[in-house]
Amino acid sequence: MLSKLKIACNIAIKWFTDNFMQANPDKFQFMVLSPFKKEASDNHLLQLGSVQLYSVIQAPLLGILFDNELSFNAHVRPAYLVRLNLPQI
């Protein structure tokens, strides 16, 4: 699975280079989504050239915090706690 991801990432980086753009691998993240909890929570390593990427358990995307179980608990819980502390009108 990771070898296919590595090939796809290298193709994307080559596309950037071919189109006179520069990718910033320091900002790359990846998350493993799996029905098997152990596989999804393991810390996977992906080597892209000289950059080492480790899998993350949660990552923000367009203002929404996604987790590797797609439960949205990490995103919804802080909003719920803020709601609990609001004064009643």
Give the predicted TM-score (pTM) of the model. 0.59
pLDDT of residue 18: 92
Does residue 41 sit within a domain? yes
**71, part of any domain:** yes
Determine how many CB atoms are found less than 10 A away from the CB of residue 9: 20
Average pLDDT along the chain, 89 residues, taken 10 residues at a time: 78 87 81 72 76 84 82 67 56
For residue 22, give its domain range: 2-84
Asked, for residue 89, whether it belongs to a domain, the answer is: no
Domains held by the chain: number: 1
Residue 22 CA, chain-centre distance (Å), reads 20
Q: What is the per-residue pLDDT for 20?
A: 93
Three-state SS for the chain is CHHHHHHHHHHHHHHHHHCCCCCCHHHCCCCCCCCCHHHHHCCCEEEECCEEEECCCEEEECCEEEECCCCCHHHHHHHHHHHHCCCCC
Residue 72 included in any domain? yes
| Cβ atoms of 44 and 37 closer than 8 Å | no
35 inside domain: yes
